[in-house]
Structure 1
Amino acid sequence: MAQANLSPAVPKPDHVPASLVYDFDMFADPGMIENAHNRALEIVKEAPPVFWTPRNDGHWVIAGHNAVFNMSRDTERFSNAMVSYEQIHAMIASMPEGAPKPLIPAPITYDPPHHAVYRGPLQKAFSPKAMTALKDSIRELAVALIEAVKPKGECAFVDAIAEPLPVTIFLRMFGLPVERQREYRDLVKEHFEDTDSDPSHVQARLKKVTDIMHDTIMERKENPTDDLISLLWQSEFNGEKATLWDIQNYCVVLFAAGLDTVVNGMSLGAVHLATNPQLQAELRADPDKIPAAAEEILRRYTFTLPPRFVSADTEFEGVQMKHGEKAVLMLPAADLDPSEFDSPEEFNLAREGKAHIAFGTGPHRCLGSHLARFELNILYEEMMARLPEFRLDPDKPLTYHGGHVWGPDEVYLKWDN
């Protein structure tokens, strides 16, 4: 089935050596859909650290840890956007008065120095201090969700826990109605599964996101409360007050990131714990080991593949790249690179030294990493404290989704009460 969904292979450009071509479809690769991180391990072993795939219109994949680290920090040669900040604003200035402006996900698609201007208002909202203030509400919700499924002896983990926990917390932070979370999640799923890169289609997808939030956005302008949308309305950018366009640009990226990313991290953690009863026993006996376990799970099952765009013809890691080409930072492979981590395929609770790259690095490092860590640690603590030894349901095998965020479609857990 996945084979039929593979995007058509395009011809190799002349500047790409045949030795750097490796066939991988980040949205529909059959091995990835069967077991995403086993496929990542294969790629680390079989493919060059920087390779070119003919799928999805042809693009570079950056799989080596060192290469990912270097490209992530080199924003002059590798942009987070297809079009520069200056080009975007020149285009907007040339548009007829009153014409709708294109939506530009902010701050993620802005590079330094503009990136800091737009990331600034969010830094305090996502700081460790601010996230610490959420710990009690995160724990209260985690306990309620776990206790709701505990008597049943089984659960569909994504639907019952991994979605409602981080999504509810984020909707509260954002100021969006929690009762609409299913509607919001369905829209995010549709957004991530659509591989059409045509600019008009991308804009249509982004507009659907802003449309579903429009009433809340305008309500917070007139009646601000203690939430992110209200905070953004009260912000200034380069000395100018925030506009509706600014708020919409923030919302398209925060909405997608906040309602999807951590769901996958939790689901991957549940799979690992469910297949390792000895680890469960060790963490139940010594909960102080849970933070180390959470970090090693993040390394072993890193799950994001952010894009970059080549700003000018250049040589990177000995590879010739051309202006306008796309590169994908394959963080799951980077964290399984044997040149960076000894026996990377092994889960090592006592692993010391080198830090994982699950949250990225450089100026675009994940803004929500502190929140994600709190949520993951609290979830694992409460699962270990409240559930008996749990396992995967052997009658319901795992499948994975690809794209820019990897994770299981659903995780069916069972336990004996």
Structure 2
Amino acid sequence: MNALSPVSPRPDHVPEEAVYDFDMYLDPALLTDPHERVRELLRDAPPVFWTPRNGGHWVVTGYAENYAASRDTESFSSQLMPTEQAIAIMEQLPPGVHHPSPTPITMDPPVHTMFRQPLNPYFSPKAMLARKQEIRSLANELIDQFIDKGHCDFIPEFAETLPVQVFLNLLGLPGERQAEFRDLVHMFLAPITSLEDSTGRMRKVADAMADVVKARQHDPKDDLISLLWQTKIDGKDTTYELMEDFGVLLFIAGLDTVINGIGYGIRHLARNPDLQAQLRENPKQIVEAAEEILRRYTFTIPQRRIAKDVELGGWQMKENDRLSLYLPGADLDEREFASPENFDLNRENKVHIAFGVGPHRCLGSHLARIELQVAYEVMLERLPQFRLDPEKPAKFHAGFILAMDSLPLRWD
């Protein structure tokens, strides 16, 4: 078993009663059954607490507290490094070197709004709905490859592959590069060890897309890269550096969400044969089921930097403290949802924040929803009743996302 990260000293402004020891990367219970551990956090720790692990940082598990912090971008900044520090690092780089960043996730309004606005039309509900048949065809092709075996590891054989192929099609990247981008997914989903590690991964993603990005500048096709080249930001033409940033953003945002959303949904269905039967008989209920699955198994943990001294959850936070918006806790908070541990298709309050809330709400949520719904539809249409493999438990890893690495299934 992995050792936990070292314990950092408690800062003077953090009272002892605000401390709860939790390693968001290596907590053993989190890696065994993530959402059961989240329920323990909600029972045992305050809705906002400070953990001494991973350098010491705040964790927000409560719904109301997550909602408030997500909307207050002046106090809780998505720019995780102070401007002065970022400039100092950039000045140490060789001239002309660009470190790709997932623009505009790492920005705050109003700059964030300026860079996000041009992307909105490409990810509108109407634009994404137009891709539904393409996604359905891809899903069927994947199932064709394992349906006759009577078993599969659902994550590598379906949940990873589907969004990677959708991503390639959306950006106009060659489909035969599927394996290459799958390898990049594995690299990206591994725990981050340092700032250099993080920037190095983004550089590899940008480099993998470089040939197509450069070609589309002067030879546009019917794809998102071509459309982005024609976009103006604040009246200025798009630069190659900005295209790298957008590419990294779309790679990160388009894969993590769908891979894990589908994984947790199919895991829930595999554990609940009665629900499988109900949805097979009433497939129109899949839309509602997908939303309740997102609430019950929320998995993203956005990071923030405290931009100015502020109070949250009764605790005083200081400028440049770090904070994790633990959205899986928010959507299991019994102060907001009655019997939150129960999957309830008829739940009155379905207002989950699995896609975040406020200015940074997930840009690709409409695409993700279609991919999730289609995946459930096609799995239930094509496969007989499926179940978890009793001899091969699911495997997880944690960090900025509660990620599923393996989900062995069986069917007769």
Place the TM-score, normalised by the shorter chain, in its bin.
over 0.9
Look up the equivalent residue of 2:144 and give its one-letter code: E
Say whether the 8 Å CA contact 1:192–1:403 is kept in structure 2. Answer: no
How many residue pairs were aligned? 412
Provide, for residues 4-62 of structure 1, a one-character-per-residue CA deviation record: whole Å limited to 9, x for no partner: 2x211111111111111111111111001101111111111111100111111111111
- Between 356-365 and 10-19, the greater mean CA deviation after superposition: 10-19
Deviation at 1:246, TM superposition (A): 0.8
Residues in 1 aligned to 2:38 and 2:109: alpha-carbon distance in whole angstroms: 31
Say whether the 8 Å CA contact 1:192–1:404 is kept in structure 2. Answer: no
- Change in CA separation of 1:76 and 1:24 when aligned onto 2, cut-off 3 Å: same
1:300 and 2:272 equivalent? no
- Change in CA separation of 1:119 and 1:355 when aligned onto 2, cut-off 3 Å: same
What is the DSSP-based 3-state SS (H/G/I as helix, E as strand, rest coil) of the residue aligned with 2:351?
coil
1:163 and 2:160 equivalent? yes
Say whether the 8 Å CA contact 2:331–2:353 is kept in structure 1. Answer: yes
- Change in CA separation of 1:405 and 1:178 when aligned onto 2, cut-off 3 Å: farther
- Change in CA separation of 1:237 and 1:201 when aligned onto 2, cut-off 3 Å: same
1:385 and 2:366 equivalent? no
- Could you tell me which of 186, 194, 197 is aligned with 1:189? 186
| Counterpart in the other structure of 2:207 | 211
Say whether the 8 Å CA contact 1:166–1:263 is kept in structure 2. Answer: yes
Deviation at 1:188, TM superposition (A): 3.0
- Could you tell me which of 19, 33, 36 is aligned with 2:34? 36
Say whether the 8 Å CA contact 1:20–1:51 is kept in structure 2. Answer: yes
- Change in CA separation of 1:91 and 1:234 when aligned onto 2, cut-off 3 Å: farther
Unaligned runs of 5+ in 1: none
| Counterpart in the other structure of 1:221 | 217
1:400 and 2:396 equivalent? yes
Residues in 2 aligned to 1:185 and 1:75: alpha-carbon distance in whole angstroms: 34
After TM superposition, the structure 1 = structure 2 runs for residues 215-294 of structure 1, keeping only pairs within 5 Å, are 215-294=211-290
Deviation at 1:381, TM superposition (A): 1.2
1:132 and 2:129 equivalent? yes
1:62 and 2:60 equivalent? yes
| Counterpart in the other structure of 1:370 | 366
Deviation at 1:222, TM superposition (A): 2.1
| Counterpart in the other structure of 1:343 | 339
Q: CA RMSD in A?
A: 2.0
| Counterpart in the other structure of 1:180 | 177
Look up the equivalent residue of 1:61 and give its one-letter code: V
- Change in CA separation of 1:99 and 1:166 when aligned onto 2, cut-off 3 Å: closer
Deviating above 6 A after TM superposition, structure 1's stretches of 4 or more consecutive aligned residues are 88-97
Residues in 2 aligned to 1:282 and 1:228: alpha-carbon distance in whole angstroms: 38
What is the DSSP-based 3-state SS (H/G/I as helix, E as strand, rest coil) of the residue aligned with 1:259?
helix
| Counterpart in the other structure of 1:119 | 116
- Change in CA separation of 1:201 and 1:396 when aligned onto 2, cut-off 3 Å: closer
Say whether the 8 Å CA contact 2:9–2:52 is kept in structure 1. Answer: yes
| Counterpart in the other structure of 1:14 | 12
Look up the equivalent residue of 1:208 and give its one-letter code: K
Provide, for residues 392-416 of structure 1, a one-character-per-residue CA deviation record: whole Å limited to 9, x for no partner: 1101012211111213211111111
Provide, for residues 278-325 of structure 1, a one-character-per-residue CA deviation record: whole Å limited to 9, x for no partner: 111111111121111111110000010010110012222321111111
Say whether the 8 Å CA contact 2:327–2:354 is kept in structure 1. Answer: yes
Unaligned runs of 5+ in 2: none
| Counterpart in the other structure of 2:324 | 328
| Counterpart in the other structure of 2:408 | 412
Residues in 1 aligned to 2:292 and 2:189: alpha-carbon distance in whole angstroms: 26
After TM superposition, the structure 1 = structure 2 runs for residues 43-54 of structure 1, keeping only pairs within 5 Å, are 43-54=41-52
Provide, for residues 56-87 of structure 1, a one-character-per-residue CA deviation record: whole Å limited to 9, x for no partner: 11111110000000000000011111246x76
- Change in CA separation of 1:414 and 1:223 when aligned onto 2, cut-off 3 Å: same
So what's the TM-score if we normalise by structure 2? 0.95
Deviation at 1:335, TM superposition (A): 0.4
What is the DSSP-based 3-state SS (H/G/I as helix, E as strand, rest coil) of the residue aligned with 2:406?
coil
Say whether the 8 Å CA contact 1:147–1:386 is kept in structure 2. Answer: no
Deviation at 1:90, TM superposition (A): 6.8
Residues in 2 aligned to 1:105 and 1:134: alpha-carbon distance in whole angstroms: 24
What is the DSSP-based 3-state SS (H/G/I as helix, E as strand, rest coil) of the residue aligned with 2:377?
helix
- Between 207-216 and 304-313, the greater mean CA deviation after superposition: 207-216
Say whether the 8 Å CA contact 1:62–1:328 is kept in structure 2. Answer: yes
Residues in 2 aligned to 1:275 and 1:297: alpha-carbon distance in whole angstroms: 13
Look up the equivalent residue of 1:274 and give its one-letter code: A
Identity in percent: 51
